[in-house]
Amino acid sequence: MVRKTLEEQKAELEARRGQIDAKLKQLNAREMDRKRRLDTRRKVVVGALVLGTVETHDANRHWLLRILKAAPDRLQDRQLIQDLIVELEASSVGDTA
């Protein structure tokens, strides 16, 4: 049996380290992707529940309207929800008439 030199042993270990690091990076990316998908799904479900209660509960409608008018800082976010604000305001006006 031929013994490997220290340099050969170190080179093999470095190669294995590179493979292990790559695998860890891949697993971490997969975990982050799973967490991001779960977070997005959770937000969709909660949003659907909130919007569902807004249709039947005036207090929830007014609460959501206050939040939507006050919360978004980014212009793109405000533009995205503007039609929802208009819809909620119109349904609120219809309730008081």
95 pLDDT above the threshold of 90? no
97 pLDDT above the threshold of 50? no
Q: Mind listing the pLDDT tens digit for each residue in 22-73?
A: 999 999 999 999 999 999 999 999 999 999 999 889 999 999 999 999 988 8
Q: How far is CA 6 from CA 3, 9, 11, in A?
A: 9, 5, 9
Judged by phi (left if over 0) then psi (alpha if -120 to 50, else beta), residue 72 lies in beta
8 is written with which tokens?
């050969």
Check: CB of residue 72 under 8 Å from CB of residue 81.
yes
